[in-house]
Amino acid sequence: MKKKVEVQDLGYKDYKETWDYQESLFKGIVDLKIKNRRENLNIDTPNYFLFVEHPHVYTLGKSGDISNMLLNEGQLAAKGATFYKINRGGDITYHGPGQIVGYPILDLDNFFTDIHKYLRFLEEVIILTLQEYGLKGMRSEGETGVWLDVGTPFARKICAMGVRASRWVTMHGFALNVNTDLGYFDNIIPCGIRGKAVTSLNVELGKKEVPVNEVKAKLLQHFSLLFEAELSEKIKTEA
């Protein structure tokens, strides 16, 4: 089975531009799968892993509740933020500077056709990465993503997740708070979950800043091992 994954680091990029780019890669894989089936071909489908950092933006998943957005249009503009309703699962979340966003666009036929296993593997990538920093990342039953101190009054979320899959092709992914301004989460009910705090890697480690490229390298290492993926030799930067 083909498990090659091309890694692209898009740098600092507008959310809508990145979403459109994701959609184009996603559509290319789906179209090739349809062509293979219709014409009885066996052309390998590509897989991608995108890294990106977004300007301030709030996104609401297709199953989300708009009441979890606590700002109106004017207040959003005043904070220099944008808002989009999008086609992933999950509720509302925030993306912004200092946050590592990962978008695996994979043909799961190349790996395993189990969306629940896929989500658990994504969570495990984060958990293993946090472990390298001495933090115990955990799953919270019924709540996708990665948390710290689950089951205590101090439970806090460090990584949000929301994906879309069609014909076993994935898009969207995870958002890991590294050096994120957590104040922006005060403007929403994150993931629609009341009474749960949000945290970041630098806050947990008591550091002003954690090297983002160092974290990305650890994420890729664990992704490669868990998914048994052969990553492209160097991170490609999309113009």
- The CATH number that domain 4-237 falls under is 3.30.930.10
Give the pLDDT confidence score for residue 238 in this predicted structure: 47
Residue 19 pairs in a beta bridge with: none
126, 146, 148, 191: the catalytic one is: 191
Other CB atoms within a 10 A radius of the CB of residue 238 amount to 13
- Contact indicator for 90, 60 with CB cutoff of 8 Å: no
What are the pLDDT digits (tens) for 72-105?
Answer: 889 989 999 999 998 887 788 899 999 999 999 9
Give the pLDDT confidence score for residue 61 in this predicted structure: 86
Backbone angles phi, psi at 49, to 5 degrees: -135, 110
What are the pLDDT digits (tens) for 110-167?
Answer: 999 999 999 999 999 999 999 999 999 999 988 889 999 999 999 999 999 999 999 9
134 belongs to an annotated ligand binding site: no
Cα angle, residue 147 at apex, residues 76 and 156 outer, rounded to 5°: 55
Give the pLDDT confidence score for residue 239 in this predicted structure: 39
- Spatial neighbors of 58 by CB under 8 A, at least 6 apart, are 69, 71, 76, 81, 82, 83, 84, 92, 93, 94, 95, 187, 188
Residue with tokens 């650890």: 218
Each domain of the chain, given as residue ranges in start order, spans: 4-237
Q: Could you tell me the pLDDT band of residue 71, with boundaries at 50, 70 and 90?
A: confident
Is 191 among the catalytic positions? Answer: yes
Q: Could you tell me the pLDDT band of residue 191, with boundaries at 50, 70 and 90?
A: low
- Helices within the chain (DSSP H only): 15-38, 73-78, 115-131, 201-205, 212-227
Is the pLDDT confidence value at 55 over 60?
yes
160 belongs to an annotated ligand binding site: yes
Give the pLDDT confidence score for residue 90 in this predicted structure: 76
Range in 115-129, 169-183, 225-239 with the lowest mean pLDDT? 225-239
Is the pLDDT confidence value at 58 over 80?
yes
Q: Considering the entire predicted model, what is its pTM?
A: 0.93
Range in 8-17, 112-121, 190-199, 226-235 with the lowest mean pLDDT? 190-199
90 belongs to an annotated ligand binding site: yes
Q: Could you tell me the pLDDT band of residue 233, with boundaries at 50, 70 and 90?
A: low
- Contact indicator for 157, 196 with CB cutoff of 8 Å: yes
94 belongs to an annotated ligand binding site: yes
175 belongs to an annotated ligand binding site: yes
What are the pLDDT digits (tens) for 192-204?
Answer: 555 578 999 999 9
Question: What is the maximum alpha-carbon separation in the chain?
Answer: 57
Is the pLDDT confidence value at 235 over 70?
no
